[in-house]
Amino acid sequence: VSFGPTGVNMIVGAFQGANFGASTPGCLGPIHAAVGSLPEAGNTSFSMVAHKVPTGAPVFAYLGQSVLSTPLPLAGIDVLVNPATAFGLYPAAVNNLGVARLNFGIPINFPVGLAVAFQFAAVDPCGSQGFSASNAVGMITMPKALTPFP
């Protein structure tokens, strides 16, 4: 809690996701995945991001509800999202700085408390079999954040 000129403010530490496993590196080294903003209901700007992705490469985000306790080796990468709970594979956009982004706006009526895991994979000539992948990130959808009291 903090006190400001407009009243009392609740300050809540936001959980933005937990990292699981390690990247299968590519040309630019390890790929790091993270959430682009708070995974809360009503956040229409929510996105999943990955850094150090080859520019111009086809990149996909693999989404599911859980991660594996032991990685699944496939095509030279370690798959970390549990295929038994998979939502699917979605194409991601990559900018000139090697940042991949999958925009996934969260509607205000989206279920709160839903577990989601994701991992990025890219076609990468420096990957062990032509692919590289990020770590996985697990998160839980949250209710809309509280605003300051009047």
Task: Report the DSSP beta bridge partners of residue 18.
Answer: 138
Q: Nearest-5° angle of CA 38, CA 43, CA 44? A: 130
Check whether 78 has a pLDDT greater than 60. yes
Would you say residue 150 has pLDDT above 70?
no
Confidence check: pLDDT of 38 > 70: yes
Q: Give pLDDT, residue 128.
A: 86
pLDDT number for residue 96? 93
Instruction: Give this prediction's pTM.
Output: 0.84
> Who contacts 45 (Cβ-Cβ below 8 Å, separation ≥6)?
36, 37, 103, 105
Answer whether residue 65 shows pLDDT above 50.
yes
At residue 60 the predicted structure's pLDDT band, cuts being 50, 70 and 90, is very high
Question: Cβ of 21: how many Cβ atoms within 10 Å?
Answer: 21
